[in-house]
Amino acid sequence: MPRTRTILLLCLLFPATLFAEPTQVLGGLSDALGGPTDPLGPQFALFPVPQRIEQINGHGLLYRELLAVEVESPGQARLLSDYCAALPIHISYGQSMYVSPGQSAGMLSLRIDSTLDLPSPEGYVLRVADKGVTIRAKTQAGLFYGLQTLNQLLEDSHDQDIAIPACVITDYPSIAVRAVHIDLKHHLDAGFYYYHIIDVLASIKVNTVFFEFEDKLRYRKAPAVGAPQAISIEEFAALSKYAHDRYIEINPLVQGLGHASFILKHEQYKELRDDPASDWAFDPLNPKTYALQFALYEDAIAATPYGKYLHIGGDEVGTLGKSARTKRSGKSAIQLQMYWLKKVTEFAQAHHRTPIFWDDMVFKLSGLYKTTYDTTLNNDTVTVLWKKNSPKLDANISLFPTGCIYMRWNYESPNAPGNRLAIDWYKAHHLDVMPATSAQQSYAVLQRNHSNFPYIRDFCLIAKAKNLDKILCTVWDDSSPHFETIWRGLYDFAWFSWNAVDAGEDKIHAAYRHRFFSPALAGQEYECRDQLEEAITFWETAFLQKGDRESYYPSFQLMDLPAPAPAHAKGQWSRRYEQKLQGAAASMEIYHLVKEKIQRCLALSRRNRYALEILDQINELQGYSANLLLLLKKYDDSDTEEEKKQILIRIREWIDGFAATRSQLEEVFGRTRMMGNPEGYIRDANQHLHLANGTNNTDWMYYYELPMNSKAQKWIQSRKKYK
């Protein structure tokens, strides 16, 4: 029996030389990380990293040495993808054609083995030895995940022309339900792109997706709710089948009590409003509310035939009790909220779905919500507040339906003491709780905080420590960023939800670049996303006196422009906006640095170049604003009228060029998404001021650029009076 060496996950940080003799590294993972992200050495970056890897003596496998696949049934053949799908297939029907290891060279063998001692039905054991591969699992899902790991090994072998070392990988998930939320609120992508998203999520072992439909499903039972461009139930059911075949379960999210503007904006449903003046929330005591909501749920269930869950929303309802019915009832806000939750829970369970409920209102109505997110509250303050107000929760425990999952969402402060106490309260009362983190919140263009890495990590680690078996990662469409900007955050989520071990942000993001683009891009010198986040933070408010770009505000104040002569004093404007102009200069430095990096990445990348093209267009957009400010500074600092005249020409040309910048960005974005709403689309009242809900066309994407350009053009015209 060959000698083995078991390498536990803690060994991620140990030098590669402990495990293998030095080999040539193409792409420099060893340089990037100071050691491997994977015990197989820096050339192999498995994502997410497996639970355990053993190196064994003997021959490994070069990708081109894999010649055929042996499966036990035709169903197993359908699990194959990428390189393996192109190989000849032998169906053994349980009788292997190979009786000894030496005869299996060049063969990939898939085996169902009910005797495997693994803690999850999604686990597998992958063995590479004697120039062959065997994957064993207790279920087809386990075989599928073993194949995803093998695909990555083969990809690295191919990209670098190196052999996969002889090894045994024993793997299984830390968290059973690893879910991603996709919000369709303000845009739709092209149909093929959703299939692409499913393929990528499956490759990183995500097994559940929630589509928040809003009005982007063509409801049959309430056709007025569906938008003109909505996806049909049949089309979505086909996508659900495609995902199901890849061990991803698609489930619907249809907002119910609050966030109901996509329904209540329509004239025919105004009678269902809790507040007649607002399209935000339903009247929970109007029987017609449930007739309509249940009709929408039934269509959503039909569109997701393989789902287990029905997410019914229920968050951020605000103040209930404004309708005539609710006023007459005498019910409190928490009673109204939970009455609705009980009704929709009963519906979901009757339709063999487990309901999921965003839980913020539970804590808002009990005086505890601030403790769940405000990290400025110290432990003593939180303890006092919970001692004072948790009895309100306890007193209302009979209102909480069982068989419902309470989704404890927290996107930027999962370690807030009250957030942990909230989870503990659910567990103490035998209620099912599911954490929700986020890879995209409401930031314009790009998620900040390094793709929200620290908060995704922290909530996954909390989930594992508290033995929670489900977790969600949201992708919100409030500001409708391109999905290609979100992959890094979703890869982070896949890493920690599959194997909740922290190898450090730099190492994990190097492994992401290796896996997503190419081994050649693993080095830190190819990291450009974090720098772009920094520049975009300035871009958001580059033209504003004050404010932000997370919302579509009805009014805002643009910065002033240099006063025209004769009132103009040299440098006066530049001194007034000194800090902003310093930010513009820093952003232009980042622009050139990121531009150069992206071009190098495009040349070296083997996959997903489109994501780099998207980042390139975002960089062009932020660079436009920064450069316009620097041109205005040159004008303000110039000494002579002739200098001003020449700079004025450059400013006018720069502004005139914005149309081309916009056109190019929309051409690149538009390869996979529908740009703008169709004619006749009815926007809602936009109570939460979502940026992407500001206009039916794409003007919202340039909310401050367009008025600044207009202001600058008028300013240029005004200069003629002083010549």
User: What tokens were used for 608?
Assistant: 């997903």
Q: Residue 319: its pLDDT value, please?
A: 86
Domains 4-171 and 177-502 share a fold: no
Long-range contacts formed by 643-652: CB under 8 A, 24+ apart: 648/716, 648/719, 651/712, 651/716, 652/713, 652/716
Q: What is the pLDDT of residue 718?
A: 86
Mean pLDDT for the chain overall: 93
pLDDT of 94 above 80: no
3-state SS record for 370-418:
HHHCCCCCCHHHHHHHHHHHHHHHHHCHHHCCCCCEEEEECCCCCCCHH
* CB-based burial label for 114 (10 Å; 0-12, 13-18, 19+): exposed
Position 722 pLDDT exceeds 70 = no
- pLDDT tens-digit map of 378-395: 999 999 999 999 999 999
- Is 720 a residue whose pLDDT tops 80? no
- Cα torsion angle, 390, 392, 393, 397, sign: positive
The pLDDT score that the predictor gives to residue 31 is 39
Structure pTM?
A: 0.93
pLDDT in tens, 242-294: 999 999 999 999 998 999 999 999 999 999 999 999 999 999 999 999 999 99
In eight-state DSSP terms, residue 186 is S
Ramachandran area for residue 20 (φ above 0: left; ψ -120 to 50: alpha; else beta): beta
Compute the average pLDDT of residues 23-51.
63
For 11-21, write each residue's pLDDT tens digit.
Answer: 333 333 322 33
Q: Hey, where are the domains in the chain?
A: 4-171, 177-502, 529-722
Q: Does domain 4-171 have CATH number 3.30.379.10?
A: yes
- Per-residue pLDDT, 142: 99
| pLDDT the model gives residue 565 | 61
Asked if pLDDT for residue 37 goes beyond 90, the answer is no
Q: What are the C-alpha distances in Å from 596 to residues 103, 140, 472, 482, 612? A: 51, 45, 36, 22, 12
What is the pLDDT confidence band of residue 24, given thresholds at 50, 70 and 90?
very low
Whether residue 309 is predicted with pLDDT greater than 90 in this model: the reply is yes
Are 55 and 20 spatial neighbours (Cβ–Cβ below 8 Å)? yes
What share of the chain has pLDDT > 90, as a percent?
Answer: 89
Which CATH superfamily is 177-502 part of? Glycosidases (3.20.20.80)
The rounded distance, in Å, linking the Cα atoms of 132 and 59 is 9
Q: DSSP per residue over 471-505, as a string?
A: EEEEE--SS---GGGTHHHHHHHHHHHHS-----H
Model confidence over 349-382: pLDDT tens digits? 999 999 999 999 999 999 999 999 999 999 999 9
Phi, psi of 8 (to 5 degrees): -75, 165
Q: Is the pLDDT of residue 10 over 60?
A: no
Q: Could you tell me the two tokens for 520? A: 């050649």
Q: Within 13 Å of residue 315, how many CA atoms lie on the same side as its CB?
A: 16
| Residue 23 pLDDT class (50, 70, 90 cuts) | very low
User: What is the C-alpha separation between 84 and 80, in angstroms, rounded?
Assistant: 6
Q: In Å, what is the CA distance from 460 to each residue of 148, 178, 210?
A: 22, 10, 18
